[in-house]
């Protein structure tokens, strides 16, 4: 019996419609950046270190931190609301 490889990745299709619903806005001079740690060990500590570096580059950046209970657990409604309504950008990270 021959062995065949099934590539599970979907075909890449780029169309203008893919980007029509994006609501891009300019980032303010003092942005709020969400830091989403996924619950793996050290993910929150990594984002804290990253925030220190970003704060040096973006002088007046503020940070909102969210840590999931565990990697497979979805965000709570409160966490999702905080990131989507209060943040100009979100950085997600996982630990090791």
What is this structure's pTM?
Answer: 0.71
Tens digits of residue pLDDT in 4-51: 777 777 777 666 666 666 666 677 889 999 999 998 888 999 999 999
Instruction: Give 93's strand partners.
Output: 37
Alpha-carbon gap, residue 76 to 70, rounded angstroms: 12
Tens digits of residue pLDDT in 51-82: 999 999 988 999 999 999 998 899 999 999 99
Cβ atoms of residues 59 and 75 within 8 Å: no
Q: Which structure tokens are listed for 67?
A: 């840590």
Count of CB atoms within 10 A of residue 57's CB? 7
Cβ atoms of residues 90 and 34 within 8 Å: yes
């Amino acid at each position: 019996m021959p062995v065949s490889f099934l590539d599970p990745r979907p075909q890449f299709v780029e169309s203008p419609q893919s980007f029509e619903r994006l609501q891009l806005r300019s980032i303010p001079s003092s942005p709020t950046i969400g830091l989403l740690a996924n619950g793996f060990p050290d993910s929150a500590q990594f984002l804290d270190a990253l925030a220190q570096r970003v704060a040096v580059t973006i002088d007046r950046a503020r940070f909102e931190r969210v840590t999931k209970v565990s990697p497979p657990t979805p965000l709570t409604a409160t966490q999702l609301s905080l990131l989507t309504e209060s943040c100009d950008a979100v950085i997600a990270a996982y630990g090791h």
